[in-house]
Structure 1
Amino acid sequence: MSPSETPEVVLHDLRAGDGLPLVLVHGFPLDHRMWDEVARFLPDGLAVVAPDAPGFGDALLTESEPSIEGIADAVAEALAARGVERAVVAGMSMGGYVALALAERHPGLVAALGLVDTKSVADAPEARDNRLRIADEAERTGSVAPVRGMREALLGETSRATRPDLVAEVGAWIEEQRPEAVAWAQRAMASRPDRTAVLAAYGGPVSVVVGVEDELTPIEQAEHLVESSHDASEAALVLVPDAGHLAAVEEPEHVAGALARLHARVTR
């Protein structure tokens, strides 16, 4: 396969339903399973679809160029193959980068935009360099060791202190990922541009969700998303207590409620 071709994603149906689907894009270094509990708390009859990004979960890693844009195009292509022309799109962290890229490259697809524990700005130079270092190390060692510590970093202080089972589960998910996918995704994220202007131009409903204990993309980043939205007065900011960067896993009912309200803004 040529590196210029669209990478592969695999769509998973988390809930069956009719009408406008909700597409949930996972964060790094996880897969679609991080949305399982959120899907359980969503309203009956709402179709919920979650892709696995290239190399993660059930998606194969091709020789495609690492890019967030490539993931977005692959998601749009996979949805189009199912006849889905419009959807509410929500993404967590890396998935939020993909959601913003979808809003830029496939605006007709994105009926509403959910940004969960994510940001619109590009990485600072030192963060970009760290991503590239981790990518090289994951390839060199052939392991996920360079991101193993994320099992704690992704979770909030409350979860780390009181939910060892959740720490273990997140750790198990990370261990199951492919080292080459870790490297690919880190390079994709390192090369992404600032998409604040995309958010400012996007005219659909926007909901920003953030864990109060998120140390990776803290509340200030969420506030920046709201302030940068096309209609900041209409953009919803939802703070999730007792949760960190993985609010969707730590407090799935709370996050599901926010996404259900976002969906209702389009369909009511």
Structure 2
Amino acid sequence: MSYNDKGHGQPIIFIHGFCESKEMWLAYEDALSPYYRILTPDLPGHGESMWMDEEITLEEVAVILGVWIDELALEKPIVIGHSLGGYVTLALAEIMGDELGGIGLFHSTAFADDQDKINTRNKTLDFVNKHGVEKFVKSFVPPLFQDNPDAELQEKMDYILKLAQKTSFPGLVAFTKAMRDRKDRSNVLSNFKGKKMMIAGQTDTAIKIGDSRQHEKLVDFYFELTGTGHMGMIEREAKCLEVIGKFMDRYVNEKLV
């Protein structure tokens, strides 16, 4: 499994989302590594991580990450996941429990897919099998961002699109199925003993804000980004770094001392 590892001290693991890779966290590595040890893995079949199986479950991904955490001897890591990365984070919390120092959901949810979302996943599978990865991501990535991006955001969107095109075909198919078939982990989120954060986008079309707000009572620190879609870590980078910093200062650092 390919990963970046920068800085020293309290480890924070950032897990990317569907059709993304560790490169999306480069600015976070630069900003946070003077204070923390920042680790950003590529999930199987994404970025530079190899694909080894035809099928995979989120539970199996969590086991892979758990072994990786043990191999690196990371103590009480904070795990923050975007979208699919949030689903993986909750699966990891289910098996590791209080071995994790805290968790964060970034435009993600503890709920399972409803029937409409399941139907969308199945349409994705049909489309990808017929047209391939490149054509799919060209239609998939732009709507994740807010409408009418300025020149700076458009440049970032183009970069994320290029990263998405590197996703392997079997990885894309397998993770679509894994997301479709995942179980509800709201009890995992509720019962997790470490500190918990959620960042949501008010105009997110992938994770509806109404669903996000149902998580507010389940976490210690909940924050909504106004005028922001599904890619808040890109659209509102400075604000997201500020929110993560507040979460670490208010909740995690004090608890871990």
User: In the alignment, what sits opposite 2:226?
Assistant: 241
User: In the alignment, what sits opposite 2:192?
Assistant: 202
Deviation track 1:20-65 (CA, whole Å, cap 9, x = no partner) reads 2001010111111111122333262311101111100011011163
Residue 256 (1) aligns with residue 246 (2):
no
Q: 1:82 aligns with which of 62, 72, 77?
A: 72
Q: Give the letter for the 2:7 counterpart.
A: A
User: In the alignment, what sits opposite 1:10?
Assistant: 2
- Residue 219 to residue 129, structure 1, CA distance change in 2 (3 Å): closer
User: In the alignment, what sits opposite 1:266?
Assistant: 252
Q: 2:180 aligns with which of 174, 178, 190?
A: 190
Q: 2:119 aligns with which of 123, 129, 147?
A: 129
1:153 offset after TM fit, Å?
1.6
Scaled by the length of structure 2, what TM-score is found?
Answer: 0.90
Pairing of 1:18-167 with structure 2 (within 5 A): 18=9, 20-42=10-32, 44-63=34-53, 65-159=55-149, 163-167=153-157
* Structure 1 segments of 4+ aligned residues over 6 angstroms from their partners: none
- Residue 144 to residue 181, structure 1, CA distance change in 2 (3 Å): farther
Scaled by the length of structure 1, what TM-score is found?
Answer: 0.87
- RMSD value, Cα: 2.0
- Normalized per residue, the structure richer in helix is 2
- Residue 223 to residue 129, structure 1, CA distance change in 2 (3 Å): same
1:136 offset after TM fit, Å?
4.4
Gaps of 5+ in 1: 1-8
1:108 offset after TM fit, Å?
2.8
Contact 1:43–1:260, Cα closer than 8 Å, also in 2: no
Contact 1:160–1:167, Cα closer than 8 Å, also in 2: no
1:160 & 1:109 partners in 2: Cα distance? 42
- Residue 267 to residue 201, structure 1, CA distance change in 2 (3 Å): same
Contact 1:148–1:171, Cα closer than 8 Å, also in 2: yes
User: In the alignment, what sits opposite 1:4?
Assistant: none
Q: Give the letter for the 1:187 counterpart.
A: K
Contact 2:98–2:194, Cα closer than 8 Å, also in 1: no
Contact 1:117–1:246, Cα closer than 8 Å, also in 2: yes
Gaps of 5+ in 2: none
2:237 & 2:100 partners in 1: Cα distance? 23
Local SS of the residue matching 2:133: coil
Local SS of the residue matching 2:199: strand
Identical pairs, percent: 21
1:96 offset after TM fit, Å?
0.5
